[in-house]
Structure 1
Amino acid sequence: MLRIAALAAAALIAAPALAENRIDLTRPDAPELAAYGPHAVAQRTLSVTDPGRLDVLNVKDGARPTYDRTLALEVWHPTAAKMAPTPYEVTLRDGETTAMIVGKAQRDAPPDMSGAPYPLVIISHGYPGNRFLMGHLGEQLASRGYVAVSIDHTDSTYSDQAAFGSTLYNRPLDQMFVLDAVAKMAGAGGPLEGLVDASNAGLIGYSMGGYGAVISSGAGITQAGVDLVFGAPEGILSRHMTGAEEHEALIDERLKAVIAIGPWGMELGHYGQTGRFWDAEGLAGIRKPILFMAGSADATSIYETGIKAIYDGAVNAPYRGMVVFENAGHNAAAPMPAPEESWAMSEKLGWAPFAHYADAVWDTVRMNDIAQHFATAFMDLHLKGDADKAAYLDLVEDGGAATWAKEKDGTPKEGHTYWTGFAKDTANGLLFLTDRE
């Protein structure tokens, strides 16, 4: 009997551990608002179609064909159900490998209508990406009383990545179309009836999602952006130019707050192209409260002459701020932790997809915690009118230079300047920029 038990124990030790790719982790040193909130979370998948959208991939020789553009949406919302979380099957960066990831959401659980309608937050991924890339943020926001809707942008996902011009043209259009679509689905007989208040909406975009968010917040692009050599064909991007009637019509009063994480497009010189997607006039068109998040070593969107230049130019935004992860790259803040399956070399890519999710300096869970903390504070302030959250955005610039001075019972002493919601020493490596005039 002892020998059988020993053999069984040895077999368990030798067996490979099944990957448990958790997206709902909160570190013990996470800032105060990073954790999941009081609501259990439900998840469902919906699909919406925009009829008559310009078919960018087939624009040629003056032809302007249209098609019905379908977008898959992942929706997270509060629920009172107490079922086991449902794993998600997701496609990874190579467009072929799949993995199971696990959070807290319960698939197709009924909505908790006790606090409805909840504010809407639209989530927009990069190029390529998919609607699960920021699933951790969607779940966390739903747990704090939001309906989060993450878009699979057609022609821009891992599975259907197509010419870049489609993403340039369609990204802000998709974002605002989904706002319209959710508003309709929240009406009588719709799948989100009474659950969500689309007139009170936020938008979070990462990389190319951030590019779209900058345009959706009011920034018209330049002629250099229209003429980008690897961009949209035959000048069709002119609809997003400063002063264009179509661009002005895109700006929606229902959109109350925007978060742009590593927004791409400002620094075209990095790509051998003269000019920038936005100039001073275009950026001055930003008219939404906007919070940026960036890595200071971002080599894709470029920090100083790219992301920070967009932030500097948003002079007419009712509020502008920026969270900076010092020495982090383009993967700062947004992507979920790299699934274990992404650690292996991809024959298709010639590199391990791990690099698409992770940062060389910062721990991903740590960055996710910080992003969730600031997203909660920002959205609570602007979508829920929670004035107490303003303190979480009124910070000295250098977190590492802030002063910790508290009594043993936690009461701040005179001279305490440490970041609200952060424990001692946990704001090191972070900057917070804002317009303090």
Structure 2
Amino acid sequence: MNRLVMAATAALVAAPAGAENRIDIVRPDAPELAAYGDHAIGVTTMSFTREQVPDIARATEEGVEDYDREITVEVWYPAAEGTEAGGSYTALLRDGTTEVDLTGRAARDAEPAAEGDFPLVVVSHGYPGNRFLMSHLAENIASKGYVVASIDHPDSTYDDMGAFGSTLVNRPHDQAFVLDRMAALEDGIGAITDGDTAAVIGYSMGGYGALIFSGAGLTEDFRGSRYAPPRDLLEINAPGSDSMADLPDARVKAVVAIGPWGRNRDAWNAEGLSAIDTPLMLIAGGVDDVSGYDAIRSIFEETTGTERHLLTFEDANHNAAAPMPAPAESYEVSEALGWAPFEHYADPVWDTTRMNNVTQHFVTAFLDLHLKGEDAKADYLDLVPDSADAVWDRAEDGTPNAGDSYWAGFPNRTAVGLRFETLPSGN
């Protein structure tokens, strides 16, 4: 649907009055691991500063100055026993001006759990985006015993969208920096954070950054393309550079890249992608026309240095899996944009909450397996690739019969429209 049609349609639809914009909905037909975990959830806002880095967004062929890059991070974490669930967030819509309230289960600035050693997960949004875009996923996995740090990337948020070159250069380094700062915390949340056991989840340009952070250096052609900033500033992400050699981090045990952008513009080749040796899960819409579904499949095929998975939502586009449900206020045409921000969050075919629940299920299994060593979670990732080929054959008590091959954790008939493929390292 083009923007003119979307805008005209949205103008006829009034936003629901007093809508809560809930980010914590788990549908009754959700797969098993989408359910919230046993931990109460706290949330707090932190700020970190990358000092004296090149100001890419304002660089010219004549020169570039250094600046202090202020990074805001929203942190979700297991909270103290007895913490009352429920809270709200104030976030900006895609237009960068409209404030909306989101309602979830995390308690603002709650006391952290009295004890624990919870793995760290870094979350990285798209271009543009913000730290709340995947708040539904952050809350959900925090309730299962993770500390989740979601980044506002400067020059890439709804109200601070600058030159694209800044995103190309800074994404993996922002991610690495936030991991370092969160892992170095000692008191409060730091006392319960296992900074030596981490994962990175990135959407679109966040996925681009996560792949570079994992070791996939950019091709020479891309570093010299029209996308690159001036003065060879993208060389920081070149294969063989000292800066690239420093990026892969043994603390990162798993990477989730949702709709990662870049392979559609030859940002990597097979040689560069083969350098990734961290377990990888790719999630994509089957008709993604922003990052290119065929390009995402190429990433899947070319990351031969690790075991990897590809979860596909058939007929979904670039908004598959990652964005929160569209806030009620996004249904109305924005004066700043000239179109309804709804299309930034929603998919024309799939229900967003449904996609969120499926993603929560698979991300939980993947993280629990690789960050917590819960080997039984591998069963949720060992599936008949095309759900249409999976057979439901259960006894009355739900016990699988010999002919059963339905996807683990999915109620009967609910895996329709999904594919889940796995390739081993070396293949």
TM bracket (short chain): over 0.9
Q: Mapping of 1:209-224 within 5 angstroms?
A: 209-224=206-221
- Cα distance in 2 for partners of 1:18, 1:342 equals 14
Query: Equivalent residue of 2:166, what SS?
Result: helix
| Cα drift, residue 228 of structure 1 | 2.3
Identity of aligned residues (%): 52
In structure 2, C-alpha distance between the alignment counterparts of 1:342 and 1:332, rounded to whole Å: 18
Question: Paired residue for 1:44?
Answer: 44
Deviations 1:163-203, CA, capped at 9 Å, x for gaps: 10001100000000001111122x2xx45331201110000
Structure 2 Cα separation of the partners of residues 348 and 205 of structure 1: 27
Aligned residues: 409
Q: State the Cα distance separating 1:84 from its structure 2 match.
A: 4.9
Deviation at 1:241, TM superposition (A): 1.5
Matches within 5 A, 1:174-185: 174-185=174-185
Choose which of 244, 265, 269 in structure 2 pairs with 1:279: 269
Amino acid across the alignment from 1:209: G
Q: Report what 1:63 is aligned to.
A: 63
- Indicate conservation of the 8 Å contact 1:374/1:392, yes or no: yes
Distance 2:395 2:241 in 1: 57
The CA distance in 2 between the partners of 1:84 and 1:77, in whole Å, is 13
The CA deviation at 1:66 is 1.1
SS at match of 2:364: helix
Alignment pair present for 1:315 and 2:297 = no
Post-superposition shift, 1:62?
5.0
| CA–CA separation in structure 2 for the residues paired with 1:391 and 1:193 | 32
Aligned counterparts of 2:188 and 2:230: Cα–Cα separation in 1: 37
1:57-96 paired onto structure 2 within 5 Å: 57-79=57-79, 80-96=81-97
CA radius of gyration, larger in: 1
Unaligned runs of 5+ in 2: 1-15
Q: Does 1:120 align with 2:109?
A: no
Aligned twin of 2:19: 19
**Counterpart of 1:172?**
172
Matched residue SS, 2:32: coil
More deviation, 122-131/343-352:
343-352
Aligned to 1:192: 189
Q: Say whether 1:227 aligns with 2:224.
A: yes
Alignment correspondent of 1:289: 279
Deviations 1:282-324 (A, max 9, x none): 01111100000000110100001x111111100011x200100
Which residue of structure 1 lines up, in the alignment, with residue 289 of structure 2? 299
Tell me, yes or no, if the aligned pair for 1:400 and 1:425 is still in contact at 8 Å. no
Aligned: 1:30 with 2:30:
yes
SS at match of 1:397: coil
Q: Which residue of 2 aligns with 1:263?
A: 260
Task: Could you list the structure 1 runs, at least 4 aligned residues long, displaced by more than 6 angstroms after superposition.
Answer: none
Question: 2: distance between equivalents of 1:371 and 1:323?
Answer: 9
* Contact 1:81 1:109 survives alignment (8 Å): no
- Greater relative contact order, per chain length (Cα 8 Å cut-off, separation 6+): 2
Residue 52 of structure 2 aligns to a residue in which SS? strand
Letter in 1 for 2:408: T
Q: Which residue identity does 2:106 align to in structure 1? A: A
- In the alignment, does 2:244 pair up with 1:247? yes
Q: Quick check: 2:214–2:247 contact (8 Å CA) kept in 1?
A: no
Cα contact 1:328–1:359 (8 A) shared by 2: yes
How far does the alpha carbon of each residue in 1:111-130 deviate from its partner, in whole angstroms, 9 at most, with x for none?
Answer: 1133x120001000000000
Partner of 1:433: helix, strand, or coil?
Answer: strand
Superposition deviation, residue 150 in structure 1: 0.2
Q: TM-score, normalized by length of structure 2?
A: 0.94
Indicate yes or no: 2:330 matched with 1:333: no
Question: Alpha-carbon deviation of 1:72?
Answer: 0.4
- Runs of 5+ consecutive residues of structure 1 not aligned to the other structure: 1-15, 269-275
Structure 2 equivalent of residue 201 of structure 1 = 198
Aligned: 1:141 with 2:131:
no
Residue pair 1:120, 1:146 contacting (<8 A) in 2 also: yes
Counterpart of 1:434 in 2: which secondary structure?
strand
Q: Distance in 2 between matches of 1:130 and 1:93?
A: 9
Which of 335, 341, 344 does residue 356 from structure 1 map onto? 344
CA contact (8 A) 1:27 1:366 kept: yes
- How much is the aligned-residue C-alpha RMSD, in angstroms? 1.2
Q: Which residue does 1:383 correspond to in 2?
A: 371
C-alpha distance in 1 between matches for 2:379 and 2:35: 18
